[in-house]
Amino acid sequence: MRRFIAGAVCPKCRAMDRLLIEVVDGGRRRRCVSCGHTDAEEENLVPEPSTRLDTRGRPETPTAPVRVLVPPGPRSNPDKGG
């Protein structure tokens, strides 16, 4: 079972999206298909933005259709050529 790590950068060759998770006997490990580098799986491989909100894992909230109401009034921008 193998799957690539989205956004992961190889610590050896700096190749992005070249690392995949390999399930081995006793655990998992990362392997770079670009240079062949292997090491233990770490959580801090993928750089996470600190100031951005994590939108993943949020419960799906039903989005109500937004209706923009235009207040009645005189048109300030007539379709007049001139």
Q: Residue 12, interface with Zn ion (CB under 5 A)?
A: yes
Query: Residue 40 or 68: which CB sits closer to Zn ion?
Result: 40
Looking at 17, 22, 34, 39, which residue binds Zn ion (CB under 5 A)? 34
User: What whole-number distance in Å separates Cα of residue 72 and Cα of residue 4?
Assistant: 56
3-class state of residue 68 by DSSP: coil
Question: With the CA atoms of 48, 54, 56 and 58 taken in that order, what torsion angle do they form, in degrees rounded to the nearest 10?
Answer: 160
Query: CB of residue 33 vs Zn ion: minimum separation in angstroms?
Result: 8
24 binds Zn ion (CB under 5 A): no
10 in Cβ contact with 32 (< 8 Å): yes
Q: Residues interacting with Zn ion, by CB under 5 A?
A: 10, 12-13, 15, 32, 34-35, 37
